[in-house]
Amino acid sequence: MIPERWFLRELKLISPKVYPFWFSKYKKWFLVRDFPRRIPGITDYDPIVGKNFIVEQVLQDEKGRALYLNAKVLLALKMQRYERHRYSLNEYLRRIDEAEKQKAIKAEQFRREGTRDFIKDVNKLSTTKTFS
């Protein structure tokens, strides 16, 4: 699997040396960083590209399922890097979901208030005499 170009560009702005790598064995995206030499137990080797790398982060949810590269994961990575890995990636994803729910609730309240105000104005105009 190949990551989308926009994701690579945005990830490079967050961490210039980190890039996503799809491990088909685990069926997950890993964020990896190149390393100049092989250190047993710390680095891995990609025989296709011929590079040694260090796994920075595994993109998986709390149940161990793969996370896919989308805008929500990118935002969570930004938040995590900004706060210097204070919480896990799943905690940031949960916070993003909660913020989206709150935005949806506020938007629904705003829509209902607008509808109620419109109905009040229509009723007011329909009951008042404009011409005698």
pLDDT digits (tens, 9 = 90+) for 90-116: 999 999 999 999 999 999 999 999 999
Q: How far apart are CA 98 and CA 67, in angstroms?
A: 18
CA angle 18, 41, 85 (to 5 degrees): 40
The reported pLDDT for the residue numbered 126 is: 85
Contact indicator for 11, 20 with CB cutoff of 8 Å: yes
Q: Which of 28, 20, 24 is nearest to 65 (CA)?
A: 28
The pLDDT tens digits for 44-88 are: 888 888 889 999 999 999 999 999 999 999 999 999 999 988 899
Partners of 19 in beta bridges: 32
